[in-house]
A and B are shown apart, each in its own frame.
Chain A
């Protein structure tokens, strides 16, 4: 079975992990309640999409 010959250095480990990045979600303001929400999704605060009530508001 193929196994690593050398221990991976801290530098290499950290270099690899430097590419683990989280991207910020894009947000728009809800036309109904002005709170930030994800685009193309119903507003979780007021529960509307295109000013139409879709779900029960969570907050």
Chain B
């Protein structure tokens, strides 16, 4: 962040695990779900009983390829699985089936926006692997407990090159990955539940140096915010060490959110030799042309492409485009709404403002049936025609229509008295009330404090409960103030 002043530069590579949202596990028919009763989603295959074999879930392969396409990766036409051997009680087979020398996706990049510039973050690979079960060490005094529901669930591991240089970049990149996997419907992106996990490899080097420094791996980063904080804390720690001329040792550290520090982990794995070798129980996976082109055709417009299009085609400000594309369902809703109206800015405002806020308050989101897009267009039309002001439309009409979807927009607004008052008589009555209340302010205005008109305007709005048409009101107000002079 403040690296410019530092003589050191941080170099960060991320390893991101995303649990694929397939119905069943990577190599057997057991359900792939989070939060079920421990050990309820297991069969003899998940438990690695004698004689059981893996059978590849094709859906998981297609999810991995989709992510590869989204990240501009080279898709490997013949990809192999490998066994990573180590002993741990939550690893049923005594090895993890993963990919070693032939990941399903290689290279690639993901553009992120950093300080208003686009930066491509280069990937090393995306590979498929199975997850282990879960060890629960604090449930019981004497025993460690094991839950194998997670054992064998499909993951993709996204590995970047060491090309990130700040906690902010890492944060932006991880956010973009999270948006992408959700956008592609291949992972729910939930970091608290471990659907998305991130490990960071961090090193520092003197600015201008090309050589990589000794790296420290920071694990246990289970929220976007913690990823950013942990990386920053670790960079600071490394720089401090370097400044004091102390040696940096290669190690695995864990982040403690309470104290905002990292501490060394007793690493069960670091000393091990994983003895990778090709998984003999699984034939090589061939990604043939047809499979690939079908997937390519099924790819949705990606969020970064959509943002660009909203800016170019609809002339929306970047911020609006970004807010609309934060989630696919929002963008889809907007895409639906633009079929009915060309007032793109008003649509964007209503969606990213009141509609989003309302859904948030209702603890709902755009996946639940929201206001039909054509109703939104009717609201926009009322605004365009100056029949309703934006804030009433946003705070009253829109929430009302959410719960009364069958109501006609104009009928409802009229009946509820939310339409703007542009009847001069009515407006003049309100203006007079305001002016009568603040004779001294009127005097000050007439002496030249023209800015006071805003205050008076606000008072009229208040009295009219927001219904006073602002354009007419201000005209009348000016006339009155000049006249009574």
Chain B binds chain A: no
Residues of A within 8 A of B (CB): none
